[in-house]
Every structure is written in structure tokens, then in C-alpha cells.
Amino acid sequence: MLSSYLAHLTVERGLAANTLASYRRDLRRYVDHLSARGLASMAQVAESDVVAFLASLREGDEEHPALVASSAARAVSAVRGLHRFALREGVSGHDPAHEVRPPRQLRRLPKAITVEEVERLIAASGPGDSPLTLRNRALLEVLYGTGARISEAVGLSVDDVTRYETTDGGEARLRGKGGRARIVPLGRYARAALDAYLVRARPLIAAHGRGTHALFLNARGGRLTRQGAWEVLQSAAERAGLSGVSPHMLRHSFATHLLDGGADVRVVQELLGHASVTTTQVYTLVTVDRLREVYAAAHPRAQR
């Protein structure tokens, strides 16, 4: 049953590889939980069994640490989907997870770094103008300049980038969650960094490999991995004296700085590749907080 449901998620729902890996891990834990309770089929599961699983996620055990609300909510979502699938396929005559709600999550505002900190980060791409330094600078400029997820950036191929001949800009074709593609503009800085990398660095790095269309290459000439891109960012952050910087934080900074500059939230939604504007609207809370800070610091009647 589990393998059929995962195949359904892969083929028909088109979930991202990372999401599928998380669902697979959560559901295998759920199947083990049911087995420990003596349940061999979906038809035998009762609502109390699902509730007990949720409790075990939050409490943890000798083999698993307690999950935070967001991770437990993801696991419950996977379980609910599995039971809906079992009901639809006729494997079970009822849905015991229908009334089980995931734990409520505290709304966490995205963290962003300032424009000045972004500039310090990119300036710390590496020493000199070696091929890898040029690659690192281009990668960081693309991450911040397009708001791309790290998986989208390393998934780029050379043909996914268009550099306009008559302007300093260009565009990139990003492939997001669920295989959804979107076109995002490349600003002047990202375009200049990519020009330097593609002309002066990538051919030299590619000579170490067997040939690939990947835009960003590792030192052996193959496609740069997510882990490799993460290490590039961490090294630059350390040299820049910044802590806690992640690829997703650059994405948050991209959105926050756009909204601070007056961009419409629906434009930011399209650039980020969010399916719903509700996801994007959390950034408007960040900018409102920023407005309050500026008001409190600058207005003569704001002080208490």
C-alpha cells in the first residue's frame, strides 16, 4: 500500500524529490507504529491509532527525537493523504485520519539580512578572481538576484539562462516545486557575474569533467550539488563575519527587499514561484515590523 501511494505522489502529484523523501520517512515510521500496535492493514486502523501516532511524534522515543510542530504537521499530512488514498482505492472502507488535525504551528517570520550584509556576503565570494571564485560570486548573485531556491539554482543548465545583447540584464528559467517552471529576470549584477563566470571560468572548470550542460559546476567539472552550494554560501558568510546565513535566508532577503522597495506582493509571488499568495503575504508582516521600527526611531511623537 505504501509503495503504491508513494508512486501516486511521484507520478500523479509530481512532488519534489525532497518532499517525497520526507513523506517516505514519515510514512515508514507510521507503518512501524501500526505494526507495533498489531495492525496489518489500513482497514484495521482506527482514529485512536492515528492520534497515538501524532502523540508519539511530539513526545519522541528511544529511536526518534521529539518533532517540532512543523515536522509533526508534515508527518500527519502524509498520514492523512495515505488514508484518503486507501479509501479511494478501496483498500479501506473508512478514513480514520479525517478528523485528526496536525498540531498548530507558531507563525515564524522569515529572517532576512540587510542589503549591506548581502553586499558583504557577495564580496566575500573568495580570494582573487580564480575560476571557483568567479563561480561562487555568480552563484550568490543568482541566489539573491532571482530569489531562487538552492535546488533551483544548482538545477540550472546553461541554456536556461538568456543574456540580453542590448541591455545589462537577462532572464533565467527556474524549475520549482512540483516541476513548475517560471521565468525570472536577471539584474545587472547577476548578469555581470554570470558573464565573467561563463567566459573566464566555466570552460576551465568544465575541462576537468566529462561534459555537462549544468550551469554551475563543481571543481571536478560535474554539476554542483545542493551541499556544494551550501558550502559556498557558508564559506562566504564566515569570511564576511555573518552567522546563521542560509540559502533560504537569501530568498527571504530577496522578497523582503523587493517589498521594502515598493513591489506588489503578487509580483513577488510570481518571482518566488509560490502557488498561493497567502504564502507570500508572510513577508508583508516583516515589512510592517520594519516600518514600526523606523517609525519608533524617527517620529518625535513615537517615543513613550
Q: Which of 80, 83, 149, 252 is catalytic?
A: 149
3-state secondary structure of 214: strand
CA 14, CA 21: separation in Å to the nearest integer?
A: 13
Is 135 in contact with 197 (CB distance < 8 Å)? Answer: yes
CB neighbour list of residue 166: distance below 8 Å, 6 or more residues apart: none
251 is catalytic: yes
299 is catalytic: no
248 is catalytic: yes
In this structure, what C-alpha cell is assigned to residue 97? 485520519
CB neighbour list of residue 256: distance below 8 Å, 6 or more residues apart: 110, 112, 283, 286, 287, 290
CA 84, CA 9: separation in Å to the nearest integer?
A: 13
149 is catalytic: yes
CA 303, CA 213: separation in Å to the nearest integer?
A: 58
Q: What are phi and psi of 216, to 5 degrees?
A: -100, 125
Q: Which of 248, 266, 292, 295 is catalytic?
A: 248
CB neighbour list of residue 90: distance below 8 Å, 6 or more residues apart: none
111 is catalytic: no
Q: Which of 29, 135, 175, 251 is catalytic?
A: 251
In angstroms, the first-to-last Cα distance of the chain is 62
DSSP per residue, 34-95: HHHTT--SGGG--HHHHHHHHHHHHH--SSSPPPPHHHHHHHHHHHHHHHHHHHHTTS-SS-
Q: Which of 111, 120, 177, 223 is catalytic?
A: 177
In this structure, what C-alpha cell is assigned to residue 202? 566555466
Active site positions, annotated: 149, 177, 248, 251, 274, 283
